[in-house]
Copies of this chain bind each other. A is one copy, B any other.
Amino acid sequence: MDKLHATKIFESLASGIRLDVFRLLVKHAPTGLVAGEIASLLELPPNNLSFHLKAMTHAGLINVTQEGRYQRYRAQLTLMQALIDYLTAECCSADPESCFEPNKASSCCDAV
């Protein structure tokens, strides 16, 4: 995890639409959903959704597999741990005695 990757992930989640998409895919982990299902569940124009899905895929937040004419998207939950570790790196290194617990987070559904 480097700064560029981290900002890309946060950018991905900084839009209400993309946040909705991600949470929807978390809810439907580990099966995922195809693009059309996401579009109809969130009531979004397919081309707009495609724009956001592309950004999220590029950030590594979701991944995609082809199923015939469908594209199935899945949340990439394992990324979260690396992100939190990056955020809390060197936590309290200026005042170590005040820090009672090392940063730790387990993600739900490591599948896919």
Contacts and interface: CB of A to CB of B under 8 A. Distances in A.
Contact of A93 (B6, B27, B91, B106): B27
A84 interface: yes
A108 B102 contact: yes
A50 B100 CA distance: 31
A19 B10 contact: yes
Count this chain's copies in the assembly.
Answer: 2
A68 interface: no
B105 A84 contact: yes
Contact of A31 (B77, B84, B95, B100): B95
B22 A94 contact: no
A30 interface: yes
27 contacts: A3-B19, A4-B16, A10-B10, A10-B14, A11-B14, A13-B87, A22-B87, A23-B89, A26-B88, A27-B92, A27-B94, A29-B99, A30-B92, A30-B98, A31-B94, A31-B95, A77-B88, A77-B91, A80-B84, A84-B105, A91-B108, A92-B109, A100-B110, A101-B108, A102-B108, A103-B108, A105-B105
